[in-house]
Amino acid sequence: MNTTTDASIAFIGGGNMARSLVGGLVAAGTDPARIHVADPNDVTRQALGDDFGVRTFASAEEAVEGAGTWVFAVKPQVMREVCAALIANAQSARPLVVSIAAGITSSQLDRWLGGGLAVVRTMPNTPALLGAGVTGLFANAAVDGVGRHCAEALLSSAGQTVWVEDESLMDAVTAVSGSGPAYVFLLAEAMEDAAKARGLPPDAARILVLQTVLGAARMLVESGEAPAELRRRVTSPGGTTQAAIETFEAGGLRALVDDAIANATRRGHALSAAND
């Protein structure tokens, strides 16, 4: 692996998640000149260059020149095609390869790039756009301590990181945290609709729901208490909260959440098979 902590970083793909990581790196003090971004879209390249001062390229082959870390930020459906064009470059440069594509395994990515490479498979989530994300990471056997440090520094620029040692668990990471923000958004959407159905004005319903979700999230993060304990503290016997919680439980909320995450996990596995 030809990686040093001061080598250039090449992003293959300049979409929202890549943009959040680039922004996090620059905010953390990385020299923008060290960051290369390849994207076929002229507008995307222009915006990245204007906003962060990074070097942008129309082709991945140009962007990876001299880069010690390659970050693949393209859709899973096109990953194999993108890798095929970079095999010679990868075998010559021996970079640290980082992927943020759902369902693409480290062995697939390594094989598509010619084999024998250090690969870190990751799954960030959309709050990374605000620097409040969380990323699960898995490193193949070729990744050394320097590679782990580089990958963690890269992804921690957008939030917290969690390493898993069994790659089969990455589909569960995707189901829980990668897709998880949408579950919270769905709950907020349902709460807002219910508030308006009770007669609250739309503006008031929106503020009440958004601040409730924000406040609850902060309590979960900052209190250090388990979710069950926080729930218990606000559920007075015979009160309004208990009436609502009993309704959720009677409706099978826990089983429904378990089924949803199980289905999302299976879908992640299917994405890998479909793109092999």
Mean pLDDT, rounded, of the chain = 94
pLDDT confidence tier of residue 7, bands split at 50, 70 and 90: confident
Cα–Cα dist 55/34, whole Å: 8
Angle at 202 between CA 201 and CA 203, to 5 degrees: 95
Q: Note the pLDDT of residue 268.
A: 84
For the segment 134-178, what is each residue's pLDDT rounded down to a tens digit?
Answer: 999 999 999 999 999 999 999 999 899 999 999 999 999 999 999
Query: Of all residues in the chain, what percent carry a pLDDT higher than 70?
Result: 98
Task: Report the largest interatomic distance among the alpha carbons of the chain, rounded to a whole angstrom.
Answer: 69
Mean pLDDT, residues 209-228: 97
Cα–Cα dist 157/9, whole Å: 14
Which residues have CB under 8 Å from 260's CB, separation 6+? Answer: 183
Going from N- to C-terminal start, the domains of the chain cover 8-171, 180-271
Query: What count of other Cβ atoms lies within 10 Å of the Cβ of residue 182?
Result: 13
Domains 8-171 and 180-271 share a fold: no
CATH for the 8-171 domain, from 3.40.50.720, 3.40.50.620, 1.20.1050.10, 3.90.1300.10: 3.40.50.720
For the segment 69-127, what is each residue's pLDDT rounded down to a tens digit?
Answer: 999 999 988 999 999 999 999 999 999 999 998 889 999 999 999 999 999 999 999 99
Residue pair 28/54 in contact by the 8 Å Cβ criterion: no
CATH for the 180-271 domain, from 2.70.70.10, 1.10.3730.10, 3.40.50.300, 3.90.79.10: 1.10.3730.10
- 3-state secondary structure (DSSP) of residue 127: helix
Reply yes or no on whether the pLDDT at 43 is more than 70.
yes
